[in-house]
Amino acid sequence: MTNPVFGTKEENVDYVARYGVYAVIADDEKEKIILVQAPNGAWFLPGGEIEAGEDHFRALKRELMEELGFEATIGDYFGQADEYFFSSHRETHYYNPAYIYDVVDYKKVSQPLEEFNNLEWFPIKEAISKLKRGSHRWGIEQWQKKYKKEC
C-alpha cells in the first residue's frame, strides 16, 4: 500500500524534509476533535516535528504536553501521509511525511507549555473543513473508519 500524497511536488525545487507526528484526539463521546490554531491562523492536528533522537511516541508525547498540556495514551497508528507544501512564513518548500496516531485516553495535567496557540474542540465535519493540511484531514478520515463515525 502506498502512502497518500497531498500537495504537488514541483520539479526543480529543493524540499526540506520535516518529519512530523500527529494525533487525532476526540472527546469522550467521540463527537468532537481538538485542533491547534497556530499564530498564523491555520488549524492543525496536535503534534509536530520529530526532533533528533526521538521516536514517534516520545515526539508525540512531548508535542501534546507543549501544545495541550495533556498526558496521553497513544493508540493505533493510522499510517503515513506525505505532503508537499511551501511555507510562506519560513519561505521554504517542505516535504512533510506525517505519521498519524489515535489517542485513546488523555488527561490535562498542566497549562500548555506553548502559550501562543489557540485550542478548540470542533464537531468532526467542522474539524475536517478547518484543517490546513490534507494529511491531517486524511488522519481524521482514518479515525472515522476505526470508530465508524459519519459526519
Per-residue pLDDT band for 48 (boundaries 50, 70, 90) equals very high
Name the residue range of residue 115's domain: 5-147
Mean pLDDT value across residues 42-64: 97
Cβ atoms of 80 and 3 within 8 Å: the answer is yes
pLDDT in tens, 28-39: 999 999 999 988
Q: What residue type is assigned to position 62 of the chain? A: R
pLDDT in tens, 95-138: 999 999 999 999 999 999 888 889 999 999 999 999 999 999 99
| pLDDT at residue number 39 | 87
- Give φ, ψ of 58 to 5 degrees: -65, -45
Closest CA to 69 of 20, 104, 114: 114
State the CATH number of the domain containing residue 56: 3.90.79.10
- pLDDT over 80 at 149, yes or no: no
Where do we find the cell 501562543? Answer: 116
Query: Do the bridges between strand 16-17 and strand 92-108 make them parallel or antiparallel, or are there none, so unpaired?
Result: parallel
Domain count, the chain: 1
| pLDDT at residue number 151 | 58
